[in-house]
Amino acid sequence: MTNLLHPHRLGELTLPNRVVLAPMTRARAAAGGLATPSMATYYAQRATAGLIVTEGVQPSLLGQSSPGTPGLHTAEQTDSWRQVTAAVHANGGRIFAQLMHSGRVSHQDTTGLQPVAPSAVPASEVFTPSGPRPAPVPRALDTAEVPGQARSFAEAARRAVEAGFDGVELHGANGYLISQFLSSNANLRTDGYGGSVANRIRFAVEATAATVEAVGKDRTGIRLSPGGTFWGVEERDVPELYAALLTELARLEVAYVHLEATSEEAVLTGLRRAWPGTLIMNPTLPMGPKQTGRAEADHWLGLGADLISFGRAFVANPDLVERLRQGLPIAPYDEATLYQGGDAGYLTYSAYQHTD
């Protein structure tokens, strides 16, 4: 069986192990969506991961979901990320930026703009500067506008590479814009982007193709949550929908597909068989009752995954790779400090302390 601590070739990169830092919102960006010195320290502390995938980064102001999240759509934002990529590389790491367009999972109080979506169907509750609020009804994108939203991922990808990132991951999961187009209840369109499976995957394929054209296939990955119900999305025909999408992604030869455990294992293993390239598996439901540990990682490596992403376990354990290597205890994280801002619960977790 594949060993979690063995190397893996990913495009032009050689990963020293198969441990991936999963993208996790931490809401620590400065005003204007700027990356900060604390963010540079946070990611550099975790540079022993085979691959780091950052928190979701908005490719446009319109694509911002929550307050405190970073962007990659201005020159100032691009420059601010250089300290992060430089710190990770100085510590021997590799880092991809996750590009996340929120679509309907946003609010005017956060961006000053009415959210857009495939259809005028609101999400449930969203985060705003004054706390959780009911989601507004989004404006349905005109057909002529949709390709521009797809290209926003490519434009942000160019900025990411300019800022020193090794690549990008398109966030096609968890109820955000790409996921909304895949959905059967958030996407009620009757044009070429809605209805049939071929139409519902079109936006994801166009966004990915534009990104591949912009920065190259080896620098492009995508995260998906087959059957997930985040932010109120639902999906019909999950095996057919994702098999069709993976077929198109295989034609584009992207660096990897990153799956979340949001469907039954039989569905996910079927998708593993359908995908010929590198598969990153997130073995436990994001923010579900169980964290990913060594047992879950080994289980999915045995089922054919190439890399395993760890979320909450990496929050409180910047030395997670070494803890997994030595079989050391995994420290618990403090849920109250996940999104509160500041360095507490962000930079205050330490490596394992050995005692005599």
Distance CA(93)–CA(3), nearest Å, equals 20
CA 33 to mean position of chain CA atoms: 17
Q: Spell out the residues 6+ positions from residue 353 whose beta carbon is closer than 8 angstroms to its own.
A: none
Instruction: Give phi and psi for 151, each to the nearest 5.
Output: -70, -20
CB-based contact 129:101 (threshold 8 Å): no
Question: How many CB atoms are located within 10 Å of the residue 25 CB?
Answer: 16
**∠355-48-6 over CA atoms, to 5°?**
100
Residue 77 · residue 83 · CB < 8 Å = no
SS3 161: helix
**73 Cβ partners below 8 Å, 6+ apart?**
33, 58, 59, 60, 61, 152, 155, 156, 159
Tell me the pairing of strands 95-99 and 116-117: unpaired
Interatomic CA distance for residues 233 and 259, integer angstroms: 17
DSSP category for residue 223: E
Which listed residue (42, 43, 176, 333) is catalytic? 176
Distance CA 167, CA 211 (A): 10
Q: Does the annotation mark 176 as catalytic?
A: yes
- Active site members: 176
